[in-house]
Amino acid sequence: MTQYAGCPLNFTSLPYQPTGECVDPKKELKIKSWGILTTTLCCQTPLTILSKSLARLSTNTPDPSVFLDSRDNGCSGLSYADIKKDGSFSDASEICGQFGQSSDSFDNICRKCSGAVLKARDSLVKGLQANGNGQENEICGIAVVTALASERWNESSLGAVNDLYACLHILDVHDPGYIKLKQHTCRYGITCESDELGKDSVLTWEKRVKILRDCALAIRFLHHYIDGCIVHRDIKLTNILLTENLEPKLSDFGLAKVLGMEESKVFTDVRGTIGYMDPEYMSNAKLTCASDIYSFGIVALQLLSGQKVIELDLEARDQLTRKAKDVSSGRRPLTDIEDPKLNGNLNTVDFESILQVAVLCVAKSSKGRPTIDVVFGEMDKAWQNTAADMRAKKEMKSFTATHQAKSLDVQVIPL
């Protein structure tokens, strides 16, 4: 997005970037973003960018309206001054202003803040006597969020603003289609328990490499975000969703944390899933981009070995990483970590290269782990090799079928 003549919003430092949460465009899944506005997964990022841009505009405009050039009598016609007169908004402002300022955990502040946002929205709707009007509820909700961001825009750091928007995603409500999509994660999992389809499904080597490559691509986008590194904090197999065509999508950004441009680490409450969490982060609460790298390494080892995706505890994690390091160093044979369900249908060279990278990713110290650029480069190389193998097999199959068909057309002429 760029700033065009006649448009006061400036998107130059808040460019739209896809989140990786878009699914099949033909089957866009509905979502009630922030528990306020009904939209689609693909439109979550534009909504945030638009709200941020409106908030920033208010800092350079005297007595501005929340929305552009609005003369409506509803929430779309309110100024920031009008909204700030509401008692519930004042409460929300005080609670949501604690991000980065309070010793309380992010989760506790977030829980209180999100509830206060909805309460402030309902208060505005009630004051306008617009109860029962779904569209007015949505407009008032966006007005509250934008006004809260506007209050913090002049702060020396925009960390509090980013925390506000990150927090609001705990209110997201997905439609039943999203629930079905999440079920594919287990249905096509590595060693998931049998479901009501009556039997397990096993991912092929090609699909496993594709999952690793696409997951690394999503993490690379997060770590190179324009406002700083976004640390997902909960990368695990059950948060890698598979579409009906088994296309992987990284999901669940409820714990995501933004490290500012000048920050290489932050000290924060320790959150995540046991078994996937960076041991360094668990011991000193120091969150870095390398924390995601560790989690990705565990995911890679699971995809290589076929170890259960459910209930990976610390003991199981340590056993898996020790085995991987022993195989990588040559102390144990490669077959010790190959998933037997693959029946040997894999590319050994790529298997070994992915294993080497995964072992580096799960180094106990963050200093010993590769960057996401290195990780993605290796995963992409493995995928390119895999894709080439798939094309070669397809061409050979086509050639064989054609040759057999021609053979059947040969007629034997008797002498």
Give 88-101 as a DSSP string: HHHHHHHHHTTTTT
Positions marked catalytic:
234
In this predicted structure, what is the pLDDT of residue 393? 76
Residue 139: pLDDT above 80?
yes
Q: Angle 132-138-141 (CA atoms, 0-180°, nearest 5)?
A: 110
In this predicted structure, what is the pLDDT of residue 379? 94
What are φ and ψ of residue 74, in 5° steps? Answer: -90, -155
DSSP 330: T
In this predicted structure, what is the pLDDT of residue 356? 96
Using one digit for the tens of pLDDT, what is the confidence trace for 387-415?
888 788 777 766 666 666 556 555 555 55
In this predicted structure, what is the pLDDT of residue 99? 77
Considering Cα of 146, then 147, then 152, then 153, what sign does the dihedral take? positive
Using one digit for the tens of pLDDT, what is the confidence trace for 90-107?
999 999 888 777 777 766
Task: Give me the residues paired with residue 230 across strands.
Answer: 258
Residue 216: pLDDT above 90?
yes
Using one digit for the tens of pLDDT, what is the confidence trace for 262-296?
666 778 778 888 889 899 988 888 889 999 999 99
Task: Share the mean pLDDT of the chain.
Answer: 78
Question: Which two tokens mark 3?
Answer: 């700033």
Cα(76)–Cα(174) distance, rounded to whole angstroms?
Answer: 26
Cβ contact 232:193 at 8 Å: no
Cα(265)–Cα(199) distance, rounded to whole angstroms?
Answer: 44
Tell me the pTM. 0.55
Cα(94)–Cα(282) distance, rounded to whole angstroms?
Answer: 31
Cα(349)–Cα(361) distance, rounded to whole angstroms?
Answer: 19
CB neighbours of residue 113 within 10 Å: 24
Cβ contact 352:378 at 8 Å: no
Closest CA to 158 of 265, 66, 231, 259: 259
Does residue 64 sit in helix, strand or coil?
A: coil
Strand pairing class (257-260; 266-267) = unpaired
Q: What is the DSSP string of 139-207?
A: HHHHHHHHHHHHHHTTSS-SHHHHHHHHHHGGG-EE-HHHHHHHHHHHHT-SSPPP-TTSS-----HHH
Architecture of domain 176-392: Orthogonal Bundle (1.10)
Question: Which two tokens mark 214?
Answer: 């696409």
Closest CA to 23 of 256, 245, 235: 245
**What per-residue string of b and e applies to 316-342 under the rule 16 or more CB within 10 Å gives b?**
ebeebbebbbebbeeeeeeeebbbeeb
Give me the mean pLDDT over the 288-306 stretch.
94
- Higher local confidence (pLDDT), 66 or 70: 66
Give me the mean pLDDT over the 225-229 stretch.
81
Using one digit for the tens of pLDDT, what is the confidence trace for 236-272?
888 888 877 778 888 888 788 888 766 667 787 788 8
Residues 337/343/348/350 CA torsion (nearest 10 deg): -80
Cβ contact 287:265 at 8 Å: yes
Give me the mean pLDDT over the 50-67 stretch.
79
**CA contacts within 13 A on the Cβ side of 368:** 12
Closest CA to 339 of 204, 150, 225, 232: 204
**CA contacts within 13 A on the Cβ side of 37:** 20
Radius of gyration of the chain (CA): 26
Residue 26: pLDDT above 70?
no
- Which residues of the chain form CATH 1.10.510.10? 176-392
In this predicted structure, what is the pLDDT of residue 196? 37
Cα(141)–Cα(372) distance, rounded to whole angstroms?
Answer: 37
